[in-house]
Amino acid sequence: MIDLRSDTITKPTPEMYEAMVSAPLGDDVFGDDPTVQRLEQACATRLGKEAAMFVPSGTMANLVCILTHCRPGDEVFVSEGAHIYEFESGALSAVGGVIPRVLPSKDGAIEPAGFEAAMRPANMHFPRSRLLCLENTHNNAGGVAIPLEHQKRLCVLAQDQGILVHLDGARIWNAAIALGVSARDLAADADSVSFCFSKGLSAPVGSVVLGTEDFINQARRKRKMLGGGMRQAGVLAAAAQVALDTMIDRLADDHRRAAMLAERLVDLKGILLIRNGVQTNMIFMDISGTGMISREFADRCKRLGLLVNTPGRYRIRLVTNRHIDDHAVEEATQILRKVVTSPADSPAP
């Protein structure tokens, strides 16, 4: 089975398994797990932040940052289709008590003019405009990498108005590679940053939150509140450390293979690539021209040996990852062509 549902399906490498078995451990809630401490320091150093905190998931990482920055009733700016808004079970409001303000965006990038227009003056009648949440790469916009200068401009606008900035950098390393900049540069202007180890980097579990030492000290209380205080967490941090040390550069292969697959699908009847150019490891397709809804399309793919993601009624997402080699790209191409060109009632092989 060729699995293009997500890069979260990646399995640990043999080196990760070995590191997990041999990792020195302690109780991380007491702050004495040396493997977690090593990972947190390594992440902070790489991204140029004072401190870092290991958490179980990207959703918790984002929520911890919102809870630490904001009070209930505060306003949080997000882009159209932002992961924090669309795919985290409404946690920012249900748990954080904050009000999301959804801003117009182009290819995942918030329009600076729209952000400026949405800013509120200080007034007792209004919610307090507190936090701007950016996402890079932007998942729902097609895995696009938001240009560094555009991101910097938004950060300057926010900071001029006393608005804090959180960067959901779940795939920040994909963005850095696609843009030809460092992850440190992408993180530089944000008050907090999160990124994930268990997507393209292939670790089994974990994300990290980064910021000032004072911010992280406050964030640890929020992590505990959410049930994210883990004990011998070095078992997981050891795999994440291997991911950080060995798996970043190879993300370029995922980008290359996504572009390769997209090139083979451009002329496929009934399929419209939502973005003409694939920047990272994601391809989004509009399949409305095939006469199928996404669930039917995915079921037919599965019968032929291909798993795809169905984020909308007529939308399909394909994500390359380290388990997808050039041969798998060719096989996936043939399956997709067969699904589109064969009669719907034809028997499965």
Where does a domain end: 201, 221, 246? 246
159 and 299: one domain? no
The reported pLDDT for the residue numbered 127 is 96
261 and 123: one domain? no
236 and 152: one domain? yes
209 and 299: one domain? no
Number of domains observed in the structure of the chain: 2
161 and 29: one domain? yes
- Angle formed by the axes of helices 326-341 and 294-303, to 10°? 120
Tokens in use for 99? 């009000």
In a domain? residue 304: yes
Q: Are 209 and 43 in contact (CB under 8 A)?
A: no
Residues of the chain with pLDDT under 70: 275-276, 343-349
What's 308's domain CATH number? 3.90.1150.10
What's 34's domain CATH number? 3.40.640.10
The CA distance from 304 to 82, in Å, is 32
Where does a domain end: 230, 246, 262? 246
Tokens in use for 141? 């916009």
φ, ψ for residue 226, nearest 5 deg:
-85, 0
The reported pLDDT for the residue numbered 274 is 82
The reported pLDDT for the residue numbered 342 is 83
In a domain? residue 2: no
Tokens in use for 98? 């904050």
124 and 98: one domain? yes
Q: Give whole-number Cα distances, 199 to 130, 174, 196, 273, in Å.
A: 29, 10, 6, 23
- For 232-257, b/e burial (b = at least 16 CB within 10 A) is bbbbbbbbbbbbbeebbeebebbbeb
The reported pLDDT for the residue numbered 277 is 73
Q: Are 84 and 58 in contact (CB under 8 A)?
A: no
Q: Which domain holds residue 303?
A: 250-341
The CA distance from 93 to 109, in Å, is 23
The single-letter DSSP state of residue 122 is S
In a domain? residue 167: yes
40 and 145: one domain? yes
- The owner of tokens 């702050």 is 31
In a domain? residue 346: no
In a domain? residue 231: yes
The CA distance from 255 to 274, in Å, is 16
177 and 76: one domain? yes
The reported pLDDT for the residue numbered 344 is 62
> How many CB atoms within 10 Å of residue 128?
18
214 and 264: one domain? no
The reported pLDDT for the residue numbered 348 is 44
The reported pLDDT for the residue numbered 38 is 98
